[in-house]
Amino acid sequence: MELPDTVIRFAESIGSVKCRHWSKLNRSFLAGEYKNIKDLQRAGEKISNHLERLIEKTVELDEAIYKNDIDSSISYECLFDGKLPKIFSELEKDIWFIPFLKKDIEQWKLLEKNYNSLRISRSLDSNYLETRRGLIKNLRKEEEHFKWEFIRHLNATKKSVIEQRYRAARHIYSSAFRPTKSEIDSLRKTVYSRTIGLGVESTYKDRIIYADDVLFDEHTRPPKKNDKYALYIPGWSLNGAFTDSD
The tens digit of pLDDT for each residue in 50-94 reads: 999 999 999 999 999 988 888 888 999 999 988 899 999 999 888
Residue 100 lies in a domain: yes
Mean pLDDT of the region 225-237: 54
Q: Is residue 83 part of a domain?
A: yes
For residue 26, count other CB atoms closer than 10 A to its CB. Answer: 17
pLDDT tens figures, 120-173: 999 888 889 999 999 999 999 999 888 888 888 888 899 999 999 999 999 999
* Pairwise CA distance, residues 170 & 51, whole Å: 10
Q: Note whether residue 107 is domain-resident.
A: yes
State residue 38's pLDDT score: 95
Look at residue 67 and tell me if it is in a domain. no
Which of 177, 156, 165 is closest to 54 using CA atoms?
165
* pLDDT (tens digit per residue) in 172-224: 999 898 877 776 666 666 555 556 566 666 666 666 666 666 666 666 665 56
Q: What is the pLDDT of residue 44?
A: 87
Q: Would you state the pLDDT for residue 140? A: 93
Does the residue 99 lie in any domain? yes
pLDDT of the residue at 69? 81
Domain count, the chain: 1
Contact 131, 80 (CB under 8 A): no
Domain extent, residue 116, equals 74-157
Mapping DSSP onto H, E and C, the string for the chain reads CCCCCCHHHHHHHCCCCCHHHCCHHHHHHHHHHHHHHHHHHHCCCCCHHHHHHHHHHHHHHHHHHHHHHHHCCCCHHHHHHCCCCCCHHHHCCCCCCHHHHCCCHHHHHHHHHHHHHHHHHHHHCCCHHHHHHHHHHHHHHHHHHHHHHHHHHHHHHHHHHHHHHHHHHHHHCHHHHCCCHHHHHHHHHHHCCCECHHHCECCCCCCCCCHHHCCCCCCCCCCCCCCCCCCCCCCEECCEECCCCC
Q: Is 4 within a domain?
A: no
pLDDT at 236: 52
* Confidence band of 245 (pLDDT split at 50, 70, 90): low
Given a cut of 80, whether residue 33 has pLDDT beyond it is yes
* Residue 19: predicted pLDDT: 94
Residues 115, 88 contacting (CB under 8 angstroms): yes
Model pLDDT, residue 111: 94
In this structure, the dihedral spanned by the alpha carbons of residues 166, 169, 174 and 178, taken in order and rounded to 10 degrees, is -50
